Structure 1
Amino acid sequence: MIVLALVAQGRDYGLAMEEFVERARMRLWAKIGTSTIYKALKDLEADGCLTSQREDAKRGPGKKVFALTAKGREELASRIADALSSEESVYSDRIAGLVFSLSLGPTEASTLIRRAIDGMELALDGVRQEQVKQAGNPMASIILDFYTAVYEAERKAMRAVLQANPEA
C-alpha cells in the first residue's frame, strides 16, 4: 500500500520515495526499508499495478520513473480499505516486556524498566523536535501526535508498574 500511495502522490522513483520516508519519519509507524521500496516497485510492476520508463539524467545513470496503472489505482483503493477496516491491535514489544519484566526479579526488572523509560524520553524528544520541523504538514502532525500519545501511555504504564511494585 505504501509504495502504491507514494507513486500516486507523485513520488515516482525509488530515491524520491526513500527521501520522503526519511523526511516524514515514516519508519516510526511503518515497517519499510530501502530494499522494501525497490522490491515492492519491481513486484508491483510485474503484477501490472505500475508501469515504468527510463528517464535520462544530465549526469550519471538515468532513473526509472513509475506510474500507477488502472489496476494499480484499484489495488491501492483495495489496500487502503483493508487497512482502514483492520481489526489488528496495536502491538508493542515494550508492553509485552513490561508484562513479564517482574519475572526477572525486582532489581533487574526495575533497571530494565527505568532504562526503557529513559529511552522513551529520548524518543519523545525526537518526536517533539520532528513536530516543530513538520509544522504546517497536517498528516505528519497527526501521525506524530499519535506517537506522542503512544509513548506517553507506555511511559505511564511503566511508571505504574514501578509504583505498584516497591521492590522493583
Structure 2
Amino acid sequence: MKSHLNPSKKSDNILPVSKKFYEDLRTRVADTCGLIGKPSLFVRAMAVIDGYILENKFPGQAYETEVMLIFTLLRSEIDKAMSRSAVARKRRVSKGHRNEKAGKMSSQRCSADKNGGLAVNTLNRSERRRIEREDRRLARRKSKQAARLRTRVEID
C-alpha cells in the first residue's frame, strides 16, 4: 500500500489530506500505541487508516480491538481533513483559472484603453487589486529605468 512518508514534491502528495495532518496523525497513532504498551500495533493501525484515506475502505472486524478503537476515534478528524483538502484543491484549481482570466482581462483592458473604449469590468475586487498592483509595479520599473537613463546622460 502506498503512503507518503517523505514526499519530495507537492505533486507527490497522493493522499487526500495535507502532509502536516498526515504526519500529525502518524505521530498521534505512534504515541497512542506506545501508551497502550503495544508499539507493534502502529503498523496495523496505519494500514487501516491508510486504507480508509486512500480507498475509503472501512476496516473489517478481523483487526484487534485497539486498532479499531484508534481508527474509530480518529475517523471524524480524518473525514474533516479530507473535506478541507478537497475544498483547498478546488480553490487552487479555480485560482489558476482566475489568474488566466485576470491576464486576459488586463490585456483586453489595455487594448480597450488604447482604442478609447471602455473595458467591461467583470473582475472581482481582489482580481482588480492584483491588476492595479501589477500596473503600479510596472510604472515604478519604467520610472526607475528612465531615471537611470537620465543619470547616465548627465554623467556622459
Bigger proportion of residues as strand: 1
Question: Quick check: which has more Rg, 1 or 2?
Answer: 2
Bigger relative CO (Cα 8 Å, ≥ 6 apart): 1
TM-score scaled by structure 2?
0.30
Bigger proportion of residues as helix: 2
TM-score scaled by structure 1?
0.29
